Amino acid sequence: MLTTQGWLVAIASMALVAAGRLFGIFELYLLGAGGAALVIAAAVSVGRTRLRLDIARELHPPRLHVGGPSRVELRVANRSARRTPLLTLRDPVGDGRSASVVVAPLGAGETVRATYRLPTDRRGILRVGPLAVEVADPFGLASASTRGAPVAELTVWPAIEEIPSLPHTTGDDPHGGADHPNTLTAAGEDFYALRAYVLGDDLRHVHWKSTARRDELMVRQDEMPWQGRATVLLDTRADAHTPETFERAVSAAASIVVACSRRRFLLRLVTTGGDDSGMGAGAGHVEGILERLATVALDRSGHLAGAASALRRAGAGGGAITVLLGGRGEDLETVSRLRRSFAHCTALSFRDTPGGPGAGGLFLVDDDHPFPAVWSMALGRRRSLAAYR
């Protein structure tokens, strides 16, 4: 209960009392006794303090991207009939940091609000709290602390940059992998659905077999509700990245996910460490991927070849994939096999590979080649090749 200053005063007081008795100096004895009495009075005063507070803490917003503004709003209400002493609210923030807010004495039923900003310069989960309410005597000799609010968590997603979305492909799948034709045949025998004939429908779309079977005109609905399908393969191998290049790759993955989500793509995040979000769409799925990217870390057990092999078995025949590599020469063959399995494959390296930039069709991202520019160049080259073919 005694503070460091209180213990120093107590020790000094005992030393003065001892010296006064030893040397027979009454003034020293009196000074020491006064100091001891002050320490005891401070401890009793703090110990008898009873607080009845309602404390609420809110994070605005609870999730955001790196660099975004976030603040904590505290609301403190005095539910006691007595006036509170001076209060100090201490909120631990992350590792080794804390925020302190001093609240002036509150009258009965009085409420006060206070805010402070949170650091959002790094992705991850930022733990805030538990909030401690401290009461001290006017001399700072004694203090008491009680818990005022539980731990809250701020999720800091990776930084994102404005980039164009991946293109739609012929293998887009509205059901995330359901078996059905990817394209219509030249004979027009494949279609999405049958429906009853409506006046004005093109008679060339009449499905005569179904019409004969149901004894009413049925027409083919050839329009399939295609939805883009995109997979992001993130390299998390510790020996392929430096901390700086890994943060760039994670930010790139988040940027691709957000860009594709705006076009309502089905999205999937896979890492070489074995993490797989599964294919899905919607705001909840996108936020789930961003939360995975907020906490993803380098690992020493991942394998690019294994992750690529699983993707080829599950996703061959359509969709788009983006491979974000740390940069190793032996990975070029793996990327080449992925290109044969997906309708669209873009591979970016965040470290120079043997052979220099562009080796094996990899696009290099570094200090001289920022990700947005490299991404736009990669998509433009793919479109040019598609047009040529």
* Structure tokens belonging to residue 199: 């006046």
Give SS3 for 51: coil
Q: Residue 5's pLDDT is what?
A: 86
260 to 33, 123, 143, 291: CA distances (angstroms): 75, 21, 55, 17
Radius of gyration of the chain (CA): 33
Distance CA(85)–CA(83), nearest Å, equals 7
Distance CA(77)–CA(152), nearest Å, equals 20
Give SS3 for 142: strand
Q: Hey, which residues does 136 pair with through a beta bridge?
A: 143
| Vertex 317: Cα angle to 221 and 246 (nearest 5) | 125
The percentage of the chain sitting over the pLDDT mark of 70, rounded to a whole number, equals: 84
Q: Residue 320's pLDDT is what?
A: 82
Mean pLDDT, rounded, for 185-192: 44
> 238-268, pLDDT tens digit by residue?
888 889 999 999 999 999 999 999 888 889 9
